[in-house]
Amino acid sequence: MYKNIINAINANVWAIIPAKMEVIMNVLLPRLDGMAKVDYEAVTKQPINRTGKVVVLPIRGTMTQHGDMFSEVSGMVSTDRIGRQIEQLADDPSVKSIILDVDSPGGSVYGLEELTQKIRAATNKKRIISVANSLMASAAYYTGSAASKVYAAPGSQVGSIGTIAVHVDQSKAIEEAGLKYTFVTAGKYKALGNSSEPLSEDAMNYYQDQVNEYYEMFLQAVAKNRSTTKSKVKSEYGQGKVLSAKNALSTGMIDGIRTLDDVISMETRRTRR
């Protein structure tokens, strides 16, 4: 199972903070040496909380499109599930405000633009507010910035606008195990970037092109979400770093510094009018 997960990482581009990627890799790599599996707690989906006409929808953990790849090794959240919930809430006449309670380091680029478009569409029906509580990084900011308003709790971090890919070269471990992989393929690049050999120049160029393409998509989405220019996002929104709430506010990445409770109280008062 772990080798399959490593192969999935090799074939994917991520919008995630590097520290979280390192955590995932540090959990996975020892398993390849035959160590006993760790009995991780099952991932529990966060419930939707409601106060009057205000609904709080948690977005917590590593973001992935279908929500099942890393359930054993890391907390995760399905962008598909969040998208469906937002659509349902947007069509619910009893709901006036949707608050996205975000605590995520980001995740896979797959499904991000689809979720972002659903959030944008929902803002035409409901007031949607995203709150960094306490991390809205990378993929989480990609989608969270599409809300009507974006806030961050005082101690939160926001940003990490960038993309990353990682290749795990298992060739030495395979050789020490007395194994040799032979790929029989049709198509020049069919086995490109496989983990049983060092990364070739062709594979490196391919991955870099993929990372660059998704990065441009990321910049364009955030620029649209925040009603600014792509060049400003690229130069002033952290250049891949996370920013404190104070610095994120000064650059225009968020609309204010408020705790989740503050935002809930604000929206509850507003919907009672």
DSSP character at residue 75:
-
How confident is the model over 174-201, as pLDDT tens digits? 888 898 888 888 888 888 888 888 899 9
182 falls within a domain:
no
Number of domains making up the chain? 1
Retrieve residue 93's tokens.
């006449």
Mean pLDDT of the region 15-42: 54
Mean pLDDT of the chain: 85
CA atoms within 13 A on the CB side of 36: 3
CATH number, residue 136: 3.90.226.10
Task: Tell me whether residue 80 is in a domain.
Answer: yes
Q: Domain of residue 231: give its range.
A: 2-166+197-263
d(CA 46, CA 60): 8
207-245 confidence digits (pLDDT tens) = 999 999 999 999 999 999 999 999 999 999 999 999 999
**H-state helical runs in the chain:** 2-10, 18-28, 79-90, 112-122, 139-144, 171-176, 201-225, 230-236, 245-251, 260-272
CA distances from 17 to 106, 124, 157, 188 (A): 7, 31, 11, 33
Expressed in angstroms, the distance from the first to the final Cα of the chain is 54
**pLDDT, tens digit, for every residue of 108-165?**
899 999 999 999 999 999 999 999 999 999 999 999 999 999 999 999 999 999 999 8
Query: Of 74, 101, 228, nearest to 161 (Cα)?
Result: 228
Mean pLDDT lowest for which of 29-33, 85-89, 243-247?
29-33
Nearest 10 degrees: Cα torsion 152, 153, 155, 158 = -20
Position 192 in a domain: no
Report if residue 64 sits inside a domain: yes
Output the DSSP codes for 91-121: T-TT--EEEEEEEE-EEESTTHHHHHHHHHH
pLDDT at residue 70 above 60?
no
- Give a yes or no: residue 190 inside a domain: no
Per-residue pLDDT at 48 exceeds 70: yes
> Does position 257 have pLDDT exceeding 90, yes or no?
yes
